[in-house]
Structure 1
Amino acid sequence: MTVPTPTHPKIEIDVTADLARALLADQHPDLASLPLHGRTFGWDNLTWRLGDDLALRFPVREMSSTLVESEQRWLPVLAPRLPVPVPVPVRDGRPALGYPWAWSVVPWLAGEQVAATAVASRTAWAGELAAALAALHSPAPRDAPVNPYRGVPLADRYDVMAGRLASDVPHADALRAALRAGLAAPPWDGHPVWVHGDPHPGNLVSHDGHLTGLIDFGDLCAGDPASDLATAWLTFDAAGREVFVARTQAAHAWDDATWVRARAWAASYVSVLLAHPDEYPLMAAVGRHAATQVAADVGLQG
């Protein structure tokens, strides 16, 4: 069966099964006979599942083409310190056969995409996600990647973030209030730490009450951990968020300003998650949930 390409306007290059198999035959022929199935699309990459235990990860637009290279460079360094499985590339792919960018063969992490699970069920592993991010949020080296969209001061992104909060965005007034509070909070003044960049429910995997995967490190960078901690509002309800925050504080004892900035980042993600509801309905659901959680937190529901 042919899997249609989503109409997401950012997808510039599709990777069909024929192209994926040709690249494998060209560069990793020992894997080329494994079945390809379960193709999925994200914002920047598409994934083909390869056999039972592997997956192929391909960038789909030039703007994000270097993200896989960053994963290839840094995930082998970071994975040993993380208490949750991550997709460390097991083979690197290079441009060939008309495909212009680096790509990866990665392990398939078994479980269910958290965005497809009931929010209340996530409290069971909220502490596990907190522990994983706490382990990641350690001082980054000077040559760590820089990302203009994550880990940066809110002042650098505020105008763009606020401009996206049109009146038809759910709880827009509350989201604006959260953004203003984040901008007014003291900025990060510590040593830059490793930042995942996108630990929302679409990039988390769970099974049987446990977190079984933290995936998509394409936005990996160094900076303020607040943009990662925004997952407290994106992923959990109030009960889960309480567990997540408590476990995080036990590890790092971030100041109150860090959490105010984190909530502002959560508010900023809502409009992005809602941008393509037909192509990415699970992400749209995450956006609506986050808007409700932020609104409840700032006391401006309705």
Structure 2
Amino acid sequence: MPAVDPALVRRLLRAQFPRWADLPVTPLASGGTVNAVFRLGDDLTVRLPRTAEDVAGEARILGALDGLPVAVPAVVALGEPGEGYPWPWAVHGWLDGSPAVEGRAGPAARELAEFVLALRANTVDGPRAYRGKALSTVDGATLQAIEELSGTDEPFDAGKARAAWAEALDAPQWTGPPCWLHSDLMPSNLLLRDGRLTGVLDWATAGLGDPAADLIPAWNLLTAKTRQDFRELVAADDATWARARGWALSMAVIQLPYHRHTNPVISANARYVLTELECVPAP
């Protein structure tokens, strides 16, 4: 596969969408690992997946959902494999804002809760969300990651992590109808302007499932105080809150060993989650 860089973007545009081929192409810095994103002119972005993804399916999801209180990417065009690049890709509308940073988005707790509830209220059919299934489906991977992380020099209390994970697994499972979820509400997918949530990016994992998965920002973004505000606003019961804590823990312990030397954005976020979950030894 060729290097995923502005030159590739320009070749793809020239071959498939020549009306945009002469616009400036600028790589966007991101902690994400699934897509390479480039700003195209002033009003567009080009997103090239780094692995095979259902780009058309994501476009259908974005077109079907309504009533959301924040902006989501507008699908402007869908590209085909070409120029040595093997997968479908997309051109989206540009969304203003800066990615959220863990611990610094307190005022956005209300907007985040409003977004989660509005998304959940959608009733159109859809696929299963990436994290929409039972927490037990990632039990083996989570326990393995806890062991791996405990063998590193990271400050980490494996005993507390195992206890927190066991508590999450013991929580009653979701028995209501599947809800619409984004299922990857990492800070890098949340856009803020003047401290307020204005946009949500990257809908490749969205679909139907257990609402607990969209409460993960309580630990990967918010602080202890705003976390409680968020919980009250989304009216999370004890079982759903416990499963959400489990998802946050699972993501953090899986991400940190893998990314701690290669992706400072994801590793910093994983450390923040483990600190908020009190799985880091006290100084």
The reply to whether TM is greater than 0.5 is yes
Structure 1 13/241 Cα, relative in aligned 2: closer, same or farther at 3 Å?
A: farther
Q: How does 1:158-237 map to 2 (within 5 A)?
A: 158-166=139-147, 167=150, 168=152, 170-237=156-223
Partner of 2:36: 46
Once the two structures are TM-superposed, the CA of residue 159 in structure 1 deviates from its matched residue by 1.5
Partner of 2:253: 271
Distance across 2 between alignment mates of 1:223 and 1:139? 12
Q: Secondary structure at the match of 1:295?
A: coil
Partner of 1:126: 109
Deviation track 1:90-130 (CA, whole Å, cap 9, x = no partner) reads 11112222222111111222221113xx61x3111111011
The one of 111, 130, 135 equivalent to 1:154 is 135
Deviation track 1:138-194 (CA, whole Å, cap 9, x = no partner) reads 36545x1224x5111012221211211121452332222221111101101111111
The answer (yes or no) to whether the contact 2:6–2:27 under 8 Å persists in 1 is no
2:266 counterpart of 1:283: yes
The answer (yes or no) to whether the contact 1:128–1:211 under 8 Å persists in 2 is yes
Distance across 2 between alignment mates of 1:52 and 1:270? 35
Partner of 2:8: 19
The answer (yes or no) to whether the contact 1:13–1:61 under 8 Å persists in 2 is no
Q: How does 1:1-16 map to 2 (within 5 A)?
A: 14-16=3-5
Once the two structures are TM-superposed, the CA of residue 301 in structure 1 deviates from its matched residue by 5.0
The answer (yes or no) to whether the contact 1:140–1:222 under 8 Å persists in 2 is no
Structure 1: runs of 5+ lacking an equivalent: 1-11
Q: TM-score, normalised by structure 2?
A: 0.90
Q: TM-score, normalised by structure 1?
A: 0.85
Distance across 2 between alignment mates of 1:131 and 1:93? 33
The answer (yes or no) to whether the contact 2:142–2:254 under 8 Å persists in 1 is no
Partner of 1:33: 22
Q: Over aligned residue pairs, what C-alpha RMSD do you find?
A: 2.0
Partner of 1:3: none
Structure 1 277/106 Cα, relative in aligned 2: closer, same or farther at 3 Å?
A: same
Percent of matched pairs sharing the same residue: 38
The answer (yes or no) to whether the contact 2:141–2:254 under 8 Å persists in 1 is no
Once the two structures are TM-superposed, the CA of residue 240 in structure 1 deviates from its matched residue by 1.6
Q: Give the counterpart letter for 1:248 in structure 2.
A: V
Distance across 1 between alignment mates of 2:244 and 2:227? 12
Partner of 1:7: none
Q: Where in structure 1 do 4 or more consecutive aligned residues deviate above 4 Å?
A: 139-142
The one of 232, 237, 255 equivalent to 1:255 is 237
Q: Secondary structure at the match of 2:239?
A: helix
Q: Give the counterpart letter for 1:46 in structure 2.
A: A
The answer (yes or no) to whether the contact 2:2–2:84 under 8 Å persists in 1 is no
